[in-house]
Amino acid sequence: MRYFITGTAGFIGFHVARRLLEDGHEVLGFDGMTPYYSLRLKEARNAALAQFPGFRPVVGMLEDKPLLEKESAGFRPDVLIHLAAQAGVRYSLENPKAYLDSNLVGSWNVLEIARNQGVDHLMLASTSSVYGANPEVPFREADKADEPLTFYAASKKAMELMAHSYAHLYKVPTTAFRFFTVYGPWGRPDMALFKFVKAMIEDREIEIYGEGKMSRDFTYIDDLVDSIIDLSRIFPGEENRVAGIDTLSAQGPFRVVNIGGGQPSGLLDFVETIERIMGKPARRKMLPMQKGDVPRTFASPDLLVALTGRKPGTGLEEGVEAFVKWYLDHRHEVD
């Protein structure tokens, strides 16, 4: 099959593209190669994908609609997986316009491509941040998600709503999946695990926000990829409606699915896991919760399990160990 994937030089897009290429599919990768973090890391990911004959990279911004149209028309994708975005909760406080341009204007361009190309399935990356400070746990897809705490979260919820309208108006089969704190090899340098391991190697303090009282539903990258590929084969429709818990819209072929294991860990437990694997204590700097942070994330995986038969299950110890090993092997590429 032919997959058009946005964000293939990014953390998640790279892993999804690599798995599909390993399975013999063709992938057209579209990425802006923005300097939000190390271009060396993005270039290293692209170089790894370039080893596969079925991969073709395109450098361009999501806001460049003519380029998107040209490349997608020439490729004729079966499935469009939209993973590119301006990421980062905290950065949205500094530069909200980047989120407007990429996550709203860029995502609308992707919707237009899906509509005009008549793709079999459009898949969109959303986030657990849309739940805000939801007091009800675990977070269920049908929970109210109308009180975002950051512009990043607001931009992702807006993308979901725009996609629903296209599913209704143009019958574009669409699945939006909400990620929960994804981590693993080739991860982003602005994420906690990357920052903590790097700081510990360099004997610097690690900054622990919320006085360490926060918790997160960590999702290992390989589990996430499994779920995305599983869901890509499940077109939203009445034939696979899940009684009682489904988010399948009555207005069009549109569904929202959490991708999380439903097993949150405390931030201090996360730090202690890193310390055990690194074989040294971290120099901890306890800080108050930052503006826009949420105290916890906690996925309900019930719909994901009902649809695919499985959920993320890699333990924190195994996942952190895999990241540390990767980082030690690739420091020269990413620092």
The string of pLDDT tens digits covering residues 2-26 is 999 999 999 999 999 999 999 999 9
150 band by pLDDT with thresholds 50, 70 and 90: very high
CATH numeric code, 2-186+218-261+298-313: 3.40.50.720
Using pLDDT thresholds of 50, 70 and 90, give the confidence band for residue 89.
confident
pLDDT band at 88 (very low <50, low <70, confident <90, very high): confident
For 210-268, the pLDDT digits (tens) are 999 999 999 999 999 999 999 999 999 999 999 999 999 999 999 999 999 999 999 99
Residue 335 has pLDDT above 90, yes or no: no
- Res 87 pLDDT > 90: no
Answer whether residue 207 shows pLDDT above 80. yes
- pLDDT given for residue 333 in this prediction: 74
Q: What is the 3-state secondary structure (H, E, C) of the chain?
A: CEEEEECCCCHHHHHHHHHHHHCCCEEEEEECCCCCCCHHHHHHHHHHHCCCCCEEEEECCCCCHHHHHHHHHHHCCCEEEECCCCCCCCHHHHCHHHHHHHHHHHHHHHHHHHHHHCCCEEEEEEEHHHHCCCCCCCECCCCCCCCCCCHHHHHHHHHHHHHHHHHHHHCCCEEEEEECCEECCCCCCCCHHHHHHHHHHCCCEEEEHHHHCCEECCEEHHHHHHHHHHHHCCCCCHHHCCCCCCCCCCCCCEEEEEECCCCCEEHHHHHHHHHHHHCCCCEEEECCCCCCCCCECCECCHHHHHHHCCCCCCCHHHHHHHHHHHHHHHHHHHC
Res 182: pLDDT: 98
Residue 78 banded pLDDT, cuts 50, 70, 90: very high
- Global confidence as pTM: 0.97
Percent of the chain, pLDDT > 70? 100
Annotated catalytic residue: which of 37, 99, 152, 183? 152
What's the pLDDT score for residue 171? Answer: 97
Average of per-residue pLDDT values in the chain: 95
pLDDT number for residue 319: 98
Catalytic residue status for 152: yes
- Which of 61-70, 92-101, 172-181, 223-232 is predicted with the least confidence, judged by mean pLDDT? 92-101
Could you report the per-residue pLDDT of 279-314, keeping only the tens digit for each?
999 999 999 998 889 999 999 999 999 999 999 999
User: Is pLDDT of 116 > 90?
Assistant: yes
